[in-house]
A and B are shown apart, each in its own frame.
Chain A
């Protein structure tokens, strides 16, 4: 196990900068998720840590050792790839023991480690099969087995669940999380799925355009996003945004006046973006009116698309209210859960 430190890490392809100087500290045993939209540089950053991409500038340290110029094999990392990358011509057991074999492990030691990993992941009955004879979930487990078998300092996961169906993804998410809790190996996990990030991470790093937007614990990012990008990216359904002006009476958005917290009063007269999560609307007869456009009952909650002033917003209500399109409901945004962002640079104001 080891800590991982990135200091001003940069990556360019010719004149095009992909990663613009990232600083990140990952403590020993931490589960860090790099999350962001497609093309934000999260996989590139992971591959730079793995040694599969060269580093244009800055420094990558694993276990206190600078690894910039080391081959992947000398970094003591293990990686799980998006497409599993299992060797098709080798059995599950050979796949799992392959790296140990090439590091000079004895046959007995390899067999023991493979058995240990197979027992943890429930792969024991599959050891003699070939990858083509396995289901997607089983292949995923073998890829994980191959990673854990030689007890590396750091696990790197590159969108490992993106090829699985929704149900299996949830199962495997749990398995990866419990594997980490059992082994306590430092883990860096890349995903574009913010639900995966929220449920698995000790710490989330939100990336956008090759820059870090925010680093923090999942609930910190959820409760206090540093800017409009993070606010919109974290959370499902995503946060509602209304553009307007902060005034002494409240927040003036097109066609509606909304309440603001006291912390916003210092920004009087400023153009801003008003952010409110769908679950932070409270039904109240004295509240602001909203015209219902679409009702989507989910069972445990009801998702409602409605027109607040001139802006379409989404609300999530746990109450079993009877709502129908065209009707008007009244509600208040919860004052403690209102987020205000500057209209120009998107930075948090309150």
Chain B
């Protein structure tokens, strides 16, 4: 049984947690509040935690200055496709590495994991040349295909493999006796049980794709094809300086779906990570 903390200790711990909360909450608070402040108030010192006046026109300007709805849609459908594709690829690959005995399985898995060690900046030039030859530059294909078969999918495969390794072998044996072949065992038994791991894969893959910045600025050049992180940089004045309040309004709108997804699915996210052994 855990020992009860004394009231004084509890007050201290809660106080400490509140202090630690500041660096995480303040930037979001500052982003949201600054999106409705006049530019002159944004960098005022001491900072205004609560705006003195509210200027909601910044939000309408977000949509006036750029095809923001189209860009929102671009980000959403690319992230959705990448998420579904990664879930399919990583669950099958993870299952194969965890459950199917084949020669050099562990060595191949190690080689696959090495993909995580290579920064995307290193591979971006050859990838650009490859997609240029394929006529896919200034299309969304690179933003869809690279994550599905690249580092995000490798990480997802690792997560899924760790989950499937922990699945009792007797379940599969029972399914074999019940008349299921390998693929049906995967689809009917292993996959439904892997929901927590799949949920966490879905969340971090979606977040990764939603926040992707380097690849869009390399592969895309038309404003109507931009994704949101790339679009945010376009809210500038005639001299190239950022239009802070409009940019922060766009950033707030960009962060909204991510926050909603995380709030809804945070339980699965934590459970999924716990299965991978990544969390203590």
Give chain A's interface residues, CB within 8 Å of chain B. 50-52, 71-73, 77-79, 81-83, 85-89, 98-99, 102-103, 146
Contacts and interface: CB of A to CB of B under 8 A. Distances in A.
A73 B192 contact: no
B22 interface: no
A72 B177 contact: yes
10 contacts: A52-B173, A72-B173, A79-B173, A81-B174, A85-B168, A85-B171, A85-B173, A88-B193, A102-B179, A103-B179
B177 A82 contact: no
User: Chain A's interface: helix, strand, loop or mixed, by majority?
Assistant: loop
B179 A99 contact: yes
B267 interface: no
B166 to A, nearest CB: 13
Interface in B124-155: none
A52 B178 CA distance: 12
Contacts of A52: 173, 176-177
Contact of B170 (A72, A82, A98): A82
Nearest to B195: A89
List 4 tightest A-B contacts by C-beta distance, closest first: A99-B178, A85-B174, A73-B179, A85-B170
A82 B184 CA distance: 23
Contacts of A103: 179
Given A81-B173, A82-B170, 9 more contacts: A51-B176, A73-B176, A73-B179, A73-B180, A86-B174, A99-B177, A99-B179, A102-B179, A146-B178
B178 A73 contact: yes
Nearest to B180: A102
Contacts of A81: 170, 173-174
B265 interface: no
A102 B193 contact: no
B174, B175, B176, B193 — most chain A CB neighbours (10 Å): B174
Nearest to B174: A85
Most chain A CB within a 10 A radius of its CB, from B173, B178, B179, B189: B178
Contacts of B173: 52, 72, 79, 81, 85
Given A73-B179, A99-B179, A102-B179, A79 B174 contact: yes
B176 A71 contact: yes
A50 B192 CA distance: 26
Which of B173, B177, B180, B184 has most A Cβ within 10 Å? Answer: B177
A237 to B, nearest CB: 33
Given A82-B170, A85-B168, A73 B177 contact: yes
Contact of A83 (B168, B175, B180, B189): B168
Contacts of A73: 176-180
A83 B170 contact: yes
Contacts of B189: 87
Interface in B175-203: 175-180, 184, 189, 192-193
A79 B192 contact: no
B171 A87 contact: yes
A142 to B, nearest CB: 12
Contact of B178 (A51, A88, A89, A102): A102
A45 to B, nearest CB: 15
A73 B170 CA distance: 15
A139 B189 CA distance: 18
B148 to A, nearest CB: 27
Contacts of B174: 79, 81, 85-87, 146
B193 A89 contact: yes
Contacts of A71: 176
Contacts of A98: 178
Residue among A85, A89, A99 with max Cβ neighbours from chain B (10 Å): A85
B177 A79 contact: yes
A10 B179 CA distance: 26
A78 B192 contact: no
A98 B179 CA distance: 9
A4 B19 CA distance: 72
A86 B189 CA distance: 10
Contacts of A50: 177
A121 B193 CA distance: 27
Nearest to B170: A85
Contacts of A88: 193
A103 B176 CA distance: 12
A321 B210 CA distance: 84
Contacts of B171: 85, 87
A77 B168 contact: no
B180 A89 contact: no
A73 B172 CA distance: 12
Contacts of A77: 177
A86 B178 CA distance: 11
A102 B193 CA distance: 19
Given A83-B168, A85-B170, A87-B171, A78 B177 contact: yes
A154 B200 CA distance: 42
A72 B176 contact: yes
B55 to A, nearest CB: 52
Nearest to B192: A89
B54 to A, nearest CB: 49
A85 B167 CA distance: 11
B9 to A, nearest CB: 36
Contacts of B193: 88-89
A79 B175 CA distance: 10
A72 B182 CA distance: 12
A52 B170 CA distance: 10
